[in-house]
Chains A and B, each alone.
Chain A
């Protein structure tokens, strides 16, 4: 038997159904990743449109493009969309899903049907919450939705119910994905890939997944309490009856602060794979960087009340949280200097992906420095809730999350499509976006220091804010042009780009050892791994070719995937993976019905819909893997 025969058998074994049904029923992590990718791009466009409307309204004092009611919906939906419906699903859903199994030498995620369910729930939650916009009742109390403003007394109607239910619904998708990633990273690594031989990308996604798993419940509890207060008449947040206004804020930020690390840590993971490829050097101080990626999220759970320094908490509490916030700086500075030293001690080739990473480092450091300023509590108490903090978090989010996402799009474009992108338009798109975002966000520091609060639908003349706002708005248009150029480049390259081959960059990790685009089964032979830079281990790759020719570790008897021990990566057993299935989308639809009925306050109907969910779960678990020996 030869390699070609094995590959053909695997091809038959792993083939998806043809056509649309194949996409609807898919459990293949690559297809699911692509579904997430396109869906989040549409939602990114929505969030971007919201931003452009905000910026245009603020171009000069006292404009009337939109009134306050619409403006309040715009800034709320912009925040909710960008965080829950762009960054998280793009990094974890798109990049994570597509790349994680490839990087660890696996054929799919640990729970492929659950993975598909995550996507359909995500899509359902996006449709759910955007329905509110089309009905003119979008959430309007800010993305962190403070009570009492978000209580029924001050926000009657369905807007905040859309928020509560939409957030819980969306959170289900992220929780399932997080659990899936953790088990995949711990158990499905190729035999030989011990914990310290994982690519840094995997450390980053593991950290982010733990973060999601432990942070989301706090948000769920918060929104459950608010939904109950608004619709059943409970008093969690009602001070008159023993409730607490600040309880909302504590629960929110216990989620919200880890969330912002969850936003950027996967992007760190993307950056730490682009850097080795374009410097042809392993990352400096690898063990420190790996630990730092885990520590950032871990310490990030202890700093939440730094979002509440102006609420009148006791001084000792305030000082504790300032100290914890100080601690979280160190893992970030470790990573920044490790990346810079890798640039310096390697042969840095500033192609488009690496340009975006250089831009990311610049923006992340700028945003991080203003973040450090916030641990000076009196200064925080001056500039919190102003444009200074908007500048800070946009430098971080746009700089540290979006720039690596853009760089990653270019970097892995050849792997996903089999084509090369056009380099010159790529570089131009970088510079336009870099200039645009700096013009957009830098003046926000100035105007915040000059006293402009956030979430104001307009502002008066005569306070010196007009010029900066004008610059910011122009910056937003320039950024949009750059992003359109980037996306246009990728589209044109898809149709007209030259063929890329398996390994155009001589990248470091396992995805570059397989064809572009990858076959359904990813790896014909489960790779032999001795380091975190497997593609550069020439002898191991030769061993793989030998094994394939001999049929060793080909696992073609079924839909098979090896399972390893979590720390040492020793081969434990073979798992039979599920094939395409309709149950994920069916269950997602059943869950959507539950949430719609809750929104409409049809409690009896909700009970029936929950029964429907149970039935879907029963059907799902009615499919059992084939037994060859019981």
Chain B
């Protein structure tokens, strides 16, 4: 047995978090280009949104984005609980986050469908970028929900260093998505300014 390394053996969560950081950097840049395109199109337009296309609602989306952002708290607490091997605390915190996230997504999908009855992405460039940017954010929220469900399933069989890494990585992902959602909602609502 190689004695020099004996004391520092672990399953390697650190690298996974770095990997998630790479994914977040790439996705953030993708959204950055979507947002850049939004403003490029906006500053080339006389009226934004163009006449005939409804302006976005302000208050409800902002509040909801804020509510979603609060799930960063249980996600982070879950990661910290997992690190201290408090398995049940971690599970409950994840369930709390999941309930809010699912509630958010269900409402948003319903609202997306409602908006499609009044305007379509095929109407003009504004609606094209609006629905694409918003839809992309919802997709990232949906993926995040799948990740939390997967985590809960993994944690059914207990905690290991690998699964601790998984909780940390998914928490990181959710912090990124929450921040992203706030930014995206802010950008879309800036049309009313």
**Residues from chain B with Cβ under 8 Å of A238 in the complex:** 125
**Chain B 54-102 residues near chain A, CB threshold 8 A:** none
Residues of A near B112 (CB, < 8 A) are: none
Q: Are A244 and B5 in contact (CB under 8 A)?
A: no
Q: In the assembled complex, how far is the CB of residue A629 from the closest CB belonging to chain B, in whole angstroms?
A: 7
A242 and B29: CB pair below 8 A?
A: no
Contact of B26 among A217, A572, A624 (CB under 8 A): A217
Instruction: Please state if B12 and A242 are interface contacts (CB–CB under 8 Å).
Output: no
| Nearest CB in chain A to that of B27: its residue | A217
Contact of B114 with A by CB under 8 A: no
Q: Select from chain A the residue with minimum beta-carbon distance to B158.
A: A630
- Report chain B residues within 8 Å CB of A244: 40-41, 44, 125
Pair B41/A243 contact, Cβ less than 8 Å? yes
Query: Mask for B1-32, Cβ within 8 A of A = 1, else 0?
Result: 11111001111101100110011011101101
CB A211 to nearest CB in B, in angstroms, measures 12
Identify which of A72-80, A218-226, A501-509 touches chain B.
A218-226
Given contacts A233-B122, A235-B122, contact A221 B34 (CB under 8 A): yes
Residues of B within 8 A of A627 (CB): 11, 160-162
Known: A217-B30, A630-B159. A563 touches B50 (CB 8 A): no
**A471–B190 CA distance with the chains assembled, in angstroms:** 58
- Asked if A242 meets B126 with Cβ closer than 8 Å, knowing A110-B18, A179-B26, A254-B33, the reply is yes
B-chain residues with CB within 8 Å of residue A233 when the two chains form the complex: 121-122
Cross-chain contact A228 with B132 (CB below 8 angstroms): yes
Residue A232 CB within 8 A of the other chain: yes
Chain A nearest CB: distance from B42 CB in Å?
10
Query: Of all chain A residues, which has the CB nearest B22?
Result: A179
Q: Is the C-beta of B129 less than 8 angstroms from some C-beta in chain A?
A: yes
Closest to A624 in B: B162
A contact residues, total (Cβ < 8 Å): 62
Contact at B5–A225, with CB atoms within 8 Å? no
Give the nearest-CB partner of A210 in chain B.
B25
- Inter-subunit contact B125/A236 (CB<8 Å): yes
When the two chains form their complex, are residues A242 and B33 in contact, meaning their CB atoms are under 8 A apart?
Answer: no
B192 contacts partner chain A, Cβ-Cβ < 8 Å: no
Q: Measured between alpha carbons, how far is A572 from B132 in the docked complex, in Å?
A: 43
A625:B12 contact, CB within 8 angstroms = yes
Residue interface mask B138-178, A partner, CB < 8 A = 1: 00000000100010000000011111001000000000000
Q: Give the distance in Å from the alpha carbon of A621 to the alpha carbon of B16 in the complex.
A: 12
Distance of A101 Cα from B146 Cα, bound (Å): 34
Interface centre among A551, A556, A614, A627 (most CB of B within 10 A): A627
CA distance A576 to B160 in the complex (A): 14
Q: Return chain B residues, CB-CB under 8 Å to A552.
A: 2-4
Q: How far is the CB of B109 from chain A (nearest CB, A)?
A: 14
CB distance from A346 to the nearest CB of B (A): 37
Counting CB contacts under 8 A, is B119 at the interface? no
- Residues in B whose Cβ lies below 8 Å from that of A180: 22
CB distance from A13 to the nearest CB of B (A): 12
Contacting residue for B25 out of A213, A224, A551, A624, CB 8 A: A213
Interface string of A534-566 (1 = CB under 8 A from B): 000000000000000001111111001011000
Complex interface: chain B residues within 8 A of A576 (CB): 11-12
Q: How far is the CA of A551 from the CA of B19 in the complex (A)?
A: 31
C-alpha gap A625/B5 in the complex (Å): 18
Interface members, chain A 202-242 (any B CB < 8 Å): 213-214, 216-218, 220-222, 224-225, 228-229, 232-236, 238, 241-242
Interface of B is mostly: helix
Residue in chain B with minimal CB distance to A250: B40
- In the complex, A218→B44 CA distance in Å? 20
Residue B115 at the chain A interface, CB threshold 8 Å: no
Q: How far is the CB of A415 from chain B (nearest CB, A)?
A: 27
Give bound CA distance, A552 to B6, whole Å: 11
Q: How far is the CA of A630 from the CA of B160 in the complex (A)?
A: 5
User: Which residue, B1, B9, B150, B166, has most C-beta atoms of chain A within 10 A?
Assistant: B9
Which of A116-124, A125-133, A157-165, A181-189 binds B? A181-189
Contacts of B116 in A (CB 8 A): none
A376 cross-chain contacts in B, Cβ below 8 A: none
| Complexed CA–CA distance, A235 and B27 (Å) | 23
Judge if B179 is at the interface, Cβ distance under 8 Å.
Answer: no
Q: How many Å lie between the Cα of A555 and that of B5 in the bound state?
A: 7
Among A225, A236, A553, A628, point to the contact of B9 (Cβ < 8 A).
Answer: A628
User: By the criterion CB–CB under 8 Å, are B160 and A183 in contact?
Assistant: no
Is the CB of A14 closer than 8 A to any CB of chain B? no
In-complex Cβ contact of B37 among A229, A232, A236, A618 (8 A): A236
Check B25 against A575 for contact (C-beta < 8 Å).
Answer: no
Q: Which of A251, A560, A614 contacts B33, CB < 8 Å? A: A251
Contacts of B41 in A (CB 8 A): 236, 242-244, 247
Please give, as numbers and ranges, the residues of chain B lying within 8 Å of A555 by CB-CB distance: 2, 5
Cα A571 to Cα B37 in complex, Å, equals: 44
CB distance from B158 to the nearest CB of A (A): 8
User: What residues on B are CB-neighbors of A232 within 8 Å?
Assistant: 121-122
Picked from B9, B18, B124, the residue with its CB within 8 Å of the CB of A242 is B124
Q: Quick one: closest B residue to A114, CB to CB? A: B19
Contact B5 A218 (CB under 8 A): no
Is the CB–CB distance between A235 and B12 below 8 Å? Answer: no
- Kindly list chain B residues whose C-beta atoms are within 8 Å of the C-beta of A45: none
Q: How far is the CA of A556 from the CA of B150 in the complex (A)?
A: 33
**Contact assessment for B121 and A175 in the assembled complex, using a CB-CB cutoff below 8 Å:** no
Name the residue of chain A whose CB is nearest to the CB of B28. Answer: A217
Among candidates B15, B126, B128, B159, residue contacting A575 with C-beta atoms closer than 8 Å: B15
Q: Give the CA-CA distance A399 to B78 in the complex, in Å.
A: 54
The contact of A225 among B27, B37, B50, B161, by CB within 8 Å, is B37
The chain B residue with its CB closest to the CB of A625 is B11
- Asked if B37 and A221 sit within 8 Å, CB to CB, the answer is yes
Given A563-B12, A576-B11, A624-B162: A218 in contact with B22 (beta carbons within 8 A): no
Which residues of the partner chain A approach B122 to less than 8 Å between Cβ atoms? 232-235
A217 and B22 CA atoms in complex are apart in Å by: 12
**Shortest distance from the beta carbon of A311 to any chain B beta carbon, whole Å:** 14
Name the A residues within 8 Å of B106 (CB-CB).
Answer: none
Add 11 more A-B contacts to A179-B26, A217-B33, A250-B40 (CB < 8 A).
A217-B27, A225-B128, A228-B128, A235-B125, A241-B124, A254-B33, A551-B3, A555-B2, A562-B5, A575-B15, A625-B12
- The list of the 6 closest CB pairs from A to B, nearest first, reads A179-B22, A242-B125, A234-B128, A575-B12, A217-B30, A243-B125
- A-B CB contact pairs (8 Å), 15 listed: A110-B18, A111-B19, A179-B22, A179-B26, A213-B22, A225-B37, A232-B122, A234-B122, A244-B40, A251-B33, A254-B33, A573-B9, A573-B12, A574-B12, A627-B161
